[in-house]
Amino acid sequence: MTASVLLAGCDTDQVSLATNAKANQPVPPKLLAAMVEKDMDLQSPILVRLFKQEAELEVWKQARNGQFALLKTYPICRWSGDLGPKVREGDRQAPEGFYSINPSQMNPQSAYYLSFNTGYPNAFDKALGRTGSQLMVHGDCSSRGCYAMTDEQIAEIYSLGRESFFGGQKAFQLQAYPFKMTPVNMAKHRNNPNMPFWKMIKEGYDHFEVTRQEPKVDFCEKKYVFDAAKPADAKRDPVFDASAKCPAYVIPEDVVAAVRGKQAKDEAEYARLVAKGTPVARMNTGIDGGMNKIFAAKIPEGSTGLSEGAEGTTLQMLAMAKAPGTIPGHVNPPKPNLDSVASAPAPQEEPVVAVSAPATSARVATAAPAEKSGGFFSNLGRKMGMGSSDTTATTPPPQATASVAPATTTTTPPTAASRLKAAVTRFVPGHDKSKDATKDAPKPAATVAAKPAEPAKQPDTRLAATRPALKPSVSDGAGEATQIMGAAPVISSNSFDSRFGAVK
C-alpha cells in the first residue's frame, strides 16, 4: 500500500516538493562562483541538453542579458538502448526529443537517490503511438531506458532545477539528442534510418544555437514546430494538435534568417564531408547503450559502448583521474547483447564512399563431417546456420602412419567458430585483436592435447560499498569534508516545500 501511495504521488506537488534532506541540499559553492563569473542569478531559468554519443548532460542557465549560457557539463554514467528515439514500452531505449519538466516531475522519493521524470511520451510521441513510462534522469549509474548519473551528480542537477522553480520558472526544457547535431556527425550517420527524425529535431537544436533562447515547441501533423507565433492579422494564438492539420502560424523573421544562415553553412560542410568520402558509422547492433569514458576507465573491462570511446593509452590516463561521483559496485558497463548477435546476420563493414570493395577470395570446405560437440562459439555457429556437416571447414585428423614431412605448408581454413568469434568481438569497442591473434595461433598437437581445460570464469561477487544518506557535491570534490552528515538539515523559511505551499 505504501508503494502504491508513493507511485501515485510521483506526479503530485505534495510528494515532489516534500521536505527532504537529499532534495534540499544547497547548490555547491563552486557552482555559485561560476554563476557570479557568468553573470547569472541563482534562481534564473535553466535548460538541459543530453547527448548519447558524447555521453554528456549540459546544464544551461539564463544570464542577466536574457540569453542562456552553458553553466556546466556532466559526463553521463550510463544510458541504455541505441541511437534513436524510444518507440515502445520495454525496448530499453532512452528517449530523444524535446520534453518539459515541471515541479511535479521532480522526485525526491526516488529509489535511485534523486530523479526527475523526462515527461516521455510527449504529444508527438503519442501521435505516433509510441509507448513507455517512468523514463527518468536519475542517480545510481544504472539504466533501463533512462539517463543515469552518479548520486553526487543528480543531487547537484536536482538543486539547480529546484532553484529555478524558486525563481518562478514553471518548467525547464529537456532536449535529448543522439549526438551533437554537427555536420560531421550528420555525415557519419547519413545512412541511419532515424535520419528523418534527427533532421526534424535538429531544427530545434539550430533555433537554440542561434538565439540562445529556449525554443517554443508545438506539434502538428505528427511533427515538431519551433517558435511558432500567430500571424499579424490573426485575432488569437494558433491552436496546435499533434495529430491534426497545422494551423496558420509564422516564425519571427530574425529567427528564420539566423537559422537559415546556420543551416546553409551546415549543409555546405555536410556535402563537402560526403564528397571526400567520410565513412559511414558502423551499425553496432546488439550493444546496449553507452557510458562516458571517464567512467569506463574506472571499471575493469569497462567499455564506452555506443558513446565516443578513447584509445587504450587515453583510458589508462583517465583511470588516474578523479571520477565525478561514486561508481557503485553493481554498475553494468555497455556490452554486446549476445541474444541479438546470435539472431542477427554476420556483421558487415559499413561501406566507405568512393572506395571500391576488394574482391573476396573463395573458401573451400573439406568433406570431413562436423564434430558432434564443441565449444560455445562452435555450437552457437551451428545454431545460426554458419556451419553444418557438409559446409563447415575442418582440419582432417592426423593419420596413424609414419610421419612424413610435407612438401608444402598448408593453412587451416577458418572454422565457423572462429568466424563467429571474430564477428562478436567486433561489437566490443577497444578490443585488442593482437591478443586474439596470439591466442588463436595454431599450436603443436601434443601441446594442445596436454593443456588442461581452463576453469570457467567466476562472476565478480564484490559488493558495492554502502552509500551515505547524502552525497557530497561533485563540484567541490566527492568524499571530502563537504559531505552533509546526520539527520535532515534545518530548512529555511523559503525552502522548496514552503515556497510552493500555494501550489499545493
* Enzyme catalytic residues: 138, 146
Q: Residue 72, SS3?
A: strand
The distance in angstroms from the start CA to the end CA of the chain is: 23
At residue 163, φ and ψ (nearest 5 deg) are -65, -35
Which contiguous run of DSSP H or E holds residue 215?
A: none
Q: DSSP letter at 105?
A: G
Residues 123, 124, 128, 133, CA torsion sign: negative
> Cell 554514467 maps to which residue?
77
Quote the CA–CA distance of 47 and 259 in Å, as a whole number: 20
Beta-carbon contacts of 170 under 8 Å, excluding residues fewer than 6 positions away, are 102
HEC string of 243-295 equals CCCCCCCECCHHHHHHHHHHHHHHHHHHHHHHHCCCCCCCCCCCECCECCHHH
- Residue 467 burial by CB count (10 A; 0-12/13-18/19+): exposed, middle or buried? middle
Q: DSSP letter at 142?
A: -
